[in-house]
């Protein structure tokens, strides 16, 4: 029983602790229990419980278990507080620190991996490319131009200027932005379209009239048309930016209007024709347009001859 940790005196003292011999008849009693079928020892449940206690009730295991419990409680508390601050349980509750962090948090849209069904995928393949300009969100340059021009509109000094002056200033401003790299020419055009789209109906009507008047004037210059008495050719006090924005193709002036004006029909007859045209099916309208185009081209050919 030599142990280097103990002095010989201590070893002697320890060695004096003598265990008595095994009680007599131990084996007999044991075998009697076996023969009687009394072999049940500690029940499994008690064994498990005692094993758990044995491993977890002392030393570092106890600290580890306490740490786990504390960590779980802290995590649950934090999660509940965050949920309450985010308003998960109704009205948001102010939680110092958490509420500030939530206010600063940036919401990022989740990526949605939508699995297209087969017909949809086929349709996506066969359909032509959509008009990107119409569906794409305005670029940053577009937004900058729209914002800048909107600011200028609200300026009283700018509003007091004549349309020509306003247009000149607006063009200069847009050109400056393009040169400085804030926007591209495409974005500038998109911005002007955007301004035209958001203009009020009265302004849009004025713009249409202005464009129509310009067209008449151009036709008069070229000598192809008779002067249109019904259209006022004087410049309209419309917003020049919007006026330049509206492309001529978008103006809802029917193509047959010059021809109608040329034909000398009565206004009632013209209205009736318009109603008939508006009531026609798309195929019929296409046929009418095609017919008018052919007639116009044949007239032009005759004139040139």
Partner 1 sequence: MSANLATKAVAESDDELMVRIAARDHAAMRLASDRHAQSAWRIAYRMLGDATEAEDVAQETLLRLWNHADRWQAGGRGIGAWLSRVATNQCLDRLRRKRFNSDQEVPERADETPLADAQMQADEVQVAVKHCIEALPERQRAAVILTYYEETPNQPAADILEMQLKAFESLLFRARSTLRGCVERKGVTAARNA
CB of 89 vs partner 1, minimal distance in Å: 40
Backbone angles phi and psi of 94, in degrees to 5: -75, 125
| Residues numbered 116-155 forming contacts with partner 1, rule: CB under 8 A | none
In the bound state with partner 1, the residue whose beta carbon lies nearer, of 25 and 97, is 25
Cβ density class 147-174: b for 16+ within 10 Å, e for less:
ebbeebeeeeeeeeeebeebbebbeeeb
Among 20, 130, 223, 267, binds partner 1 (CB under 8 A): 20
CB of 24 vs partner 1, minimal distance in Å: 10
SS3 content of the chain, % helix, strand, coil (to 5): 65, 0, 35
| Cβ contact 254:208 at 8 Å | no
**CA 232/CA 212 separation, integer angstroms:** 9
Q: Give how far Cα 104 sits from Cα of 50, 100, 101, 162, 224, Å.
A: 51, 6, 5, 47, 66
CB of 71 vs partner 1, minimal distance in Å: 23
**CA 36/CA 32 separation, integer angstroms:** 6
| Residues numbered 47-86 forming contacts with partner 1, rule: CB under 8 A | 47, 50-51, 53-55, 57-60
In the bound state with partner 1, the residue whose beta carbon lies nearer, of 9 and 268, is 9
Window of 21-29, 81-89, 172-180, 296-304 that interacts with partner 1 by CB under 8 A: 21-29
CB of 52 vs partner 1, minimal distance in Å: 10
CB of 100 vs partner 1, minimal distance in Å: 45
Residue ranges binding partner 1 (CB under 8 A) = 1, 3, 5-7, 9-10, 12-14, 16-23, 26-27, 29-31, 33-35, 39, 41-42, 47, 50-51, 53-55, 57-60
């Amino acid at each position: 029983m030599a142990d280097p940790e103990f002095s010989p005196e201590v070893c002697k003292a320890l060695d004096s602790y003598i265990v008595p011999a095994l009680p007599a008849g131990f084996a007999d009693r044991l075998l009697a229990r076996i023969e009687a079928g009394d072999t049940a020892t500690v029940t499994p449940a008690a064994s498990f419980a005692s094993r758990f206690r044995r491993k977890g009730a002392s030393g570092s295991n106890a600290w580890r278990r306490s740490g786990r419990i504390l960590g779980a409680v802290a995590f649950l508390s934090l999660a509940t507080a965050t949920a309450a601050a985010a308003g998960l349980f109704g009205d948001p509750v102010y939680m110092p620190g958490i509420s500030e962090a939530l206010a600063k948090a940036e919401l990022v849209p989740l990526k949605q991996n939508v699995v297209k069904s087969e017909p949809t995928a086929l349709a996506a393949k066969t359909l032509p490319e959509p008009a990107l300009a119409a569906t794409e969100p305005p670029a940053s340059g577009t937004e900058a131009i729209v914002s800048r021009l909107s600011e200028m509109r609200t300026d009283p000094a700018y509003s007091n200027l004549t349309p020509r002056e306003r247009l000149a200033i607006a063009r200069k401003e847009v050109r400056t932005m393009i040169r400085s790299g804030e926007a591209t020419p495409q974005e500038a055009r998109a911005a002007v379209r955007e301004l035209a789209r958001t203009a009020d109906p009265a302004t849009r009507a004025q713009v249409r009239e202005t464009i129509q008047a310009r067209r008449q004037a151009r036709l008069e210059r070229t000598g192809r048309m008779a002067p249109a008495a019904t259209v006022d050719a004087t410049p309209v006090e419309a917003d020049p930016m919007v006026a330049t924005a509206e492309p001529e193709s978008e103006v809802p002036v029917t193509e047959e209007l010059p021809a109608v004006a040329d034909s000398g029909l009565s206004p009632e007859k013209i209205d009736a024709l318009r109603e008939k045209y508006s009531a026609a099916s798309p195929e019929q309208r296409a046929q009418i347009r095609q017919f008018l185009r052919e007639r116009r081209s044949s007239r032009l050919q005759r004139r040139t001859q």
